[in-house]
Amino acid sequence: MSLTDILSPSDIAAALRDCQAPDSFSPKKFFQISGMSKKSSSQLKEIFRILDNDQSGFIEEDELKYFLQRFECGARVLTTSETKTFLAAADHDGDGKIGAEGINLFKYR
């Protein structure tokens, strides 16, 4: 399964265009534009599984900086500031990584 099986390619493209400039990435806005905020918990868990590059069950900071590239290989890398802000917003237990339940936080923000 790929992200385009769950999300519209045009919505993904629009979300990526919106955050092309460094330090312009907003997780909430990206989730809204890409359509992720409208997905069910089970669909978000599948998206999480796809984004979890090493299949550890968590998205760690080093994986998170490549978040946009999981949607399109030519997309930019998140800045250190964007990565830390994203991680802080989704890391609900403070362990320095995002579990599958953390990605659901953006559905409601």
Residues contributing to the annotated binding site for Ca(2+): 52, 54, 56, 58, 63, 91, 93, 95, 97
Other CB atoms within 10 Å distance of the CB of residue 90: 20
The alpha-carbon radius of gyration of the chain (Å, integer) is 12
Q: Are 1 and 46 contacting, i.e. CB atoms less than 8 angstroms apart? A: yes
Cβ neighbours for 6, distance < 8 A, ≥ 6 positions apart: 39, 43, 46, 47
Whole-angstrom distance, CA of residue 51 vs CA of residue 53? 6
Which residues fall in the annotated binding site? 52, 54, 56, 58, 63, 91, 93, 95, 97
